[in-house]
Chain A
Amino acid sequence: MFSRLRIAPRLALLTLLGCTLVLGAITGSCYLFGSRQIEKETQEKAISLAVGTANRIETVQRGVEKVVRASASRIEDGERSPERVRLILARAVGENPEIFGAAFAYAPETVSGGTRLAAPYVYRSGERLAFKDLGAGRYRYDVWDWYTLPRDLGRPVWSEPYFDEGDGGALMVTYSVPVFDGSGADGKLVGVVTCHVSLDWLTDLLRSIRFAETGYAFLVSRTGTYICHPRKDFVVRETLFSAAETNHRPELRAVARRMITGESGYIPLRNLVSQEPSHMAFAPVPSTGWSVSIIVADAELLAPVVSLSRSVALVGIAGFALLLLITLLIARSITRPLRELDAATEVLAKGDLDAPLPAIPGNDEVAHLSKSFTHMRTELKRSMEELRATTAAKQKIESELEIARSIQMSLVPRTFPAFPDRPEFDLYAELHPARPIGGDFYDFFMLDRHRICLAIGDVSDKGVPAALFMAVVRTFLKAIWRDEESPAATLRKLNNELALDNDSTMFVTLLCAVVDLRDGSMRYASGGHNLPFLISPDGGVHQVRRLKGVPVGAMEEMLFEEGTESLRPGDVFFLYTDGATEAMNGAGELFGDDRLEGELKRCAGSTGMRELVHGVRGAVESFADGAEQSDDLTLVAFRFTGPLRF
């Protein structure tokens, strides 16, 4: 995926990727550790705040309890007359500002026609204390919890909070202590001392509690009823359980059950009002069984951590940008010489070896690469120069060879028909050097009016030396032959001439024949040359008899046997060099004597010697099938058509 990118962006991207991971890890762990720490601190703070608040409430409650119990004790001790009771109550209210009013409800007396209720009540009315009898009107205290609970339970009871209808709807709670005649609950109930405590101070206290920005406190009673809550409509009307029910929050109900059983704790909780993820710390107020809770929004708690993490992230991003810039600069400083080198190499590749290569300072890898390139360029240039010189030399040699070839080719007669005025025979010959300069040759000439000389040869070597040697052989041959007339004698003399001072140790295989055109008799001698074929008009093909004779020019004083043949009209005398029989195809097979013989049979009916030679040559070429040949191919065909008749 990255390999498609160029080096600079790739380097930048990979660096950036690595940095992102590192930065992410740093920010993440910063957030994690920070939030854990804060969570821990918050937990401690929230719990201690809840406990502290609970204790403050408890202290006040205990104070109230003490006053009411003291009053109850005095009444129990005998001060039961309405006047005494009223004094006791007045003192309790007067001396304790947190007590709004106090009453002593006498146990109802059964009188004729029902019960008589009496409950002297002292309460605050502005700055003064007022008095009334709660038993006087329609109000029947003997059916209400503040009276019945202590009576039935036989112990003091804190009531559930309520809105006092008579006093402008103030939130109140009562503490009631039963007074028994005699000892404990077994005794007869004398009455119940109760005092009303306004909870306004509590509302103020809880409202003053702030935790972080929006954290707040609330208070519930022992049945989970809200006593203080920022949502005023919750107070007294809703309980933790009704809230859980309304909002379908069973987990809230479970927490509420822990709260009203006097547990304390710190738990995560979705805020009922704001629906935000929050935490709640709660602690009990033991005297009343109430529970104080502190609610803190998680978002707010984590705000400093979030802000810290954000700063870290911002610094990181700024670092990123800087890093990106630096990486790109470094990457470019590395790749710039490379790109220059690349451009220069392209020019180099087009053949401009003189184009300047960028000079790269320093001793790094790129500088080394540049130096190597310079070195390579120098070597390349030198080698090109050499090649140019060699090529020029070669071209010169080739042109000389071409000239040599045309000279060599001009050494053999190439005009056909060679003797248009001689109808006694038909003659055709071809020489195909395997290389520009060959070692084969053929020749023919009229010895006199009736005799024609035919010669074919193959110099042992190839190339210019062979060509020169061949020229020498041909010159000697023609000169000697005119003197000697006999082929064998000619070969013998030629051999001696060539062997003399033959420092190059070159030799030539040679076959010479003389045909008397008057009767078709033929004499011939061979210097180690391939045996020619005789082809009769009826298609018979055979090689001439083998004669003694070694290649000419190798050693002096050699003897050559001479043979005779009689050519009948229509007979063809076919001469060739080893370029025909030793022609090789791609598979390494030789054309061979047998194939040649077969080919001659096939071409026996040819009308002219040109066609015969072309046929054989075509067969050899198609056998070789384009394979390079090492030997020159020379073919000479002579047909004796018959003596002239006058």
Chain B
Amino acid sequence: MFPFLRILTAALMMLLLLPAVAPWAAPPPDAAQVSVSLQWVPQSQFAGYYLALDKGFYRKRGLDVTILHSGPELNSMDRLADGTAHFATTFLTSALQRRNSGLPVVNIAQIVNRSTAMLVARKKSGIRSLRDLNGRRVSLWAGDFTVPFEAALSSHGISPGRRFVQNYSVALFLHNGVDACSAMYYNEYHMLYQAGLDEDELITFPLEKYGCNVPEDGIYCLENMWKANPRRCRDFAEATMEGWRYARAHPEEALDSVMRRVTSARIPTNRAHMKWMLEKILPGILAGPADAWKAGVLSRTDYARAVGLMKKQGLIKTAPEYDTFHPLGVGNVQ
């Protein structure tokens, strides 16, 4: 036999075998079509979802998942409300506010349990402690994003001289329009670094250090979805967690996955930033041996704290019971 024929045969055989194992092969015909709306544009914050899709973790659980991205003009929760997505991710505070305003969302997995939210200031501005923010110009994220910041400031009796609404960029801080701004360690902090601010030029105040950890990204669905298809919800949550574990084990592959989506969506970011984001967000998702929380599970204490803070700040009036809000409960998601 000619060598090339042998190779050709082998290649054909492999192609025949591929559908059974290859992640990019078509899902089985009986797979459930589900969609998830991620709360922002493509970035490493969602690496676990991408890998769960790319590596076939959804499909092997019988899920044919479509990933949708949201953005400044499109809220992921709206997609749940209008039925264009089965699942959606959002911050706990946002979900609680939605619930408060009548959208019956339930948390089927708490992805980011440890917040990396922080206030950042230039050392040059003379700020040495959180207290030094008194009377200073501070930009804070608006709406429910502000919950842990307001909590941190008020619990330490700090009132900034002038507050600015911070939206999607740190430009105001870069233009010296404010003395301090809100930042995620995994995102905005590194944006400052990539805009030329050295780490030793900055002073950071991680909110977790000030007792204001509020869990962030979680996966939500409508209550009736959960009641009708608890298995599907659980499968989706478990596959996503598997995706995150895979991302931790294969960071370069995860970055490739992220960058593919970043490039096709023409997101103005770079691999170095995505690498940073992945590295910094992972410890808040997958618990280390020393952590008291469980990956994927919304901690009862954190839930209670978030509800308490939001009520105190007048953002919500009511909140569901923990077990209603997070029906999977402890241990259901690894």
Residues in A neighbouring B74, C-beta threshold 8 A: 138
**0 or 1 for each of B73-105: is its CB under 8 Å from A? (1 = yes):** 110000000000000000000000000000000
Residues in B neighbouring A153, C-beta threshold 8 A: 172, 175, 177
Residues in A neighbouring B175, C-beta threshold 8 A: 149, 153, 157
A399 to nearest B CB, angstroms?
Answer: 108
Establish whether residues A237 and B272, one from each chain, have CB atoms under 8 Å apart when the complex forms.
no
Residues in A neighbouring B168, C-beta threshold 8 A: 143-145
A223-B167 contact in complex given A140-B73, A153-B175, A246-B271, C-beta closer than 8 Å: no
Task: Tell whether A242 is near chain B: CB-to-CB under 8 Å.
Answer: yes
Establish whether residues B270 and A238, one from each chain, have CB atoms under 8 Å apart when the complex forms.
yes
Task: Tell whether B165 is near chain A: CB-to-CB under 8 Å.
Answer: yes
Establish whether residues B195 and A139, one from each chain, have CB atoms under 8 Å apart when the complex forms.
no
A247's nearest neighbour on chain B, judged by CB, is: B272
A203 to nearest B CB, angstroms?
Answer: 16
How many angstroms between the C-alpha atoms of A223 and B165 in the bound complex?
A: 21
Residues in A neighbouring B268, C-beta threshold 8 A: 162-163, 225, 236-237
Residues in B neighbouring A140, C-beta threshold 8 A: 72-73
Within B178-227, which residues are at the interface with A (CB < 8 Å)? Answer: 178, 193-196, 198
Residues in A neighbouring B124, C-beta threshold 8 A: none
B276 to nearest A CB, angstroms?
Answer: 8
How many angstroms between the C-alpha atoms of A157 and B176 in the bound complex?
A: 12
Establish whether residues A257 and B167, one from each chain, have CB atoms under 8 Å apart when the complex forms.
no
Residues in A neighbouring B6, C-beta threshold 8 A: none
Task: Tell whether B20 is near chain A: CB-to-CB under 8 Å.
Answer: no
B175's nearest neighbour on chain A, judged by CB, is: A153
Task: Tell whether A218 is near chain B: CB-to-CB under 8 Å.
Answer: no
Task: Tell whether A484 is near chain B: CB-to-CB under 8 Å.
Answer: no
Residues in A neighbouring B72, C-beta threshold 8 A: 140, 143-144
Count, chain A residues at interface, CB 8 A: 35
Task: Tell whether A245 is near chain B: CB-to-CB under 8 Å.
Answer: yes
Task: Tell whether A260 is near chain B: CB-to-CB under 8 Å.
Answer: yes
Residues in A neighbouring B273, C-beta threshold 8 A: 242
Task: Tell whether A73 is near chain B: CB-to-CB under 8 Å.
Answer: no
Establish whether residues A237 and B270, one from each chain, have CB atoms under 8 Å apart when the complex forms.
yes
Establish whether residues A145 and B196, one from each chain, have CB atoms under 8 Å apart when the complex forms.
no
B142's nearest neighbour on chain A, judged by CB, is: A143
B268's nearest neighbour on chain A, judged by CB, is: A236
A245-B196 contact in complex given A143-B72, A149-B177, A152-B177, C-beta closer than 8 Å: no
Residues in A neighbouring B167, C-beta threshold 8 A: 143-145, 148
Residues in A neighbouring B172, C-beta threshold 8 A: 145, 148-149, 152-153
Establish whether residues A242 and B194, one from each chain, have CB atoms under 8 Å apart when the complex forms.
yes
Within B251-308, which residues are at the interface with A (CB < 8 Å)? Answer: 266-273
Establish whether residues A245 and B194, one from each chain, have CB atoms under 8 Å apart when the complex forms.
yes
**0 or 1 for each of B223-255: is its CB under 8 Å from A? (1 = yes):** 000000000000000000000000000000000
Size bracket of the B interface? 20 to 34
Task: Tell whether A541 is near chain B: CB-to-CB under 8 Å.
Answer: no
Residues in A neighbouring B165, C-beta threshold 8 A: 143, 148
Task: Tell whether A169 is near chain B: CB-to-CB under 8 Å.
Answer: yes
Within A228-242, which residues are at the interface with B (CB < 8 Å)? Answer: 236-242
A223-B272 contact in complex given A143-B167, A144-B167, A149-B177, C-beta closer than 8 Å: no
Establish whether residues A145 and B169, one from each chain, have CB atoms under 8 Å apart when the complex forms.
yes
Task: Tell whether B164 is near chain A: CB-to-CB under 8 Å.
Answer: yes
A224-B195 contact in complex given A148-B172, A149-B175, A153-B177, C-beta closer than 8 Å: yes
Establish whether residues A260 and B196, one from each chain, have CB atoms under 8 Å apart when the complex forms.
yes
Task: Tell whether A256 is near chain B: CB-to-CB under 8 Å.
Answer: yes
- Residue from the list B171, B267, B270, B271 in contact with A239, Cβ < 8 A: B270
B101 to nearest A CB, angstroms?
Answer: 14
A222 to nearest B CB, angstroms?
Answer: 8
Establish whether residues B171 and A241, one from each chain, have CB atoms under 8 Å apart when the complex forms.
no
Task: Tell whether B174 is near chain A: CB-to-CB under 8 Å.
Answer: yes
B267 to nearest A CB, angstroms?
Answer: 8
B267's nearest neighbour on chain A, judged by CB, is: A237
Within A189-209, which residues are at the interface with B (CB < 8 Å)? Answer: none
Counting chain A CB atoms within 10 Å of each CB, which of B165, B195, B198, B266 scores highest? B195
- Residue from the list A149, A165, A242, A256 in contact with B171, Cβ < 8 A: A149
B312 to nearest A CB, angstroms?
Answer: 25
B239 to nearest A CB, angstroms?
Answer: 30
Counting chain A CB atoms within 10 Å of each CB, which of B73, B168, B272 scores highest? B272
B82 to nearest A CB, angstroms?
Answer: 13
Counting chain B CB atoms within 10 Å of each CB, which of A140, A143, A160 scores highest? A143
Establish whether residues B194 and A257, one from each chain, have CB atoms under 8 Å apart when the complex forms.
no
How many angstroms between the C-alpha atoms of A292 and B280 in the bound complex?
A: 34
Within B122-180, which residues are at the interface with A (CB < 8 Å)? Answer: 164-165, 167-169, 171-172, 174-175, 177-178
A137's nearest neighbour on chain B, judged by CB, is: B73
**0 or 1 for each of A274-305: is its CB under 8 Å from B? (1 = yes):** 00000000000000000000000000000000
A165's nearest neighbour on chain B, judged by CB, is: B266
How many angstroms between the C-alpha atoms of A142 and B291 in the bound complex?
A: 41
Residues in B neighbouring A138, C-beta threshold 8 A: 73-74
How many angstroms between the C-alpha atoms of A160 and B194 in the bound complex?
A: 14
A140's nearest neighbour on chain B, judged by CB, is: B73
How many angstroms between the C-alpha atoms of A140 and B143 in the bound complex?
A: 15
How many angstroms between the C-alpha atoms of A241 and B270 in the bound complex?
A: 11
B51 to nearest A CB, angstroms?
Answer: 22
How many angstroms between the C-alpha atoms of A157 and B177 in the bound complex?
A: 12
Subset of 18 A-B contacts with CB under 8 Å: A144-B167, A144-B168, A145-B169, A149-B177, A152-B177, A153-B177, A159-B171, A163-B266, A222-B174, A223-B194, A237-B268, A239-B195, A241-B194, A242-B273, A245-B194, A246-B271, A246-B272, A256-B196
19 further contact pairs, Cβ within 8 A, besides A149-B171, A239-B194, A241-B193? A138-B74, A139-B73, A143-B167, A145-B168, A148-B167, A152-B177, A153-B175, A163-B266, A223-B174, A237-B269, A237-B270, A240-B196, A241-B194, A242-B194, A243-B272, A245-B193, A246-B270, A257-B196, A257-B198
Using a CB–CB cutoff of 8 Å, the interface residues on chain B facing chain A are 72-74, 164-165, 167-169, 171-172, 174-175, 177-178, 193-196, 198, 266-273
Q: Top 3 A-B pairs ranked by shortest CB distance? A: A223-B195, A143-B167, A236-B268
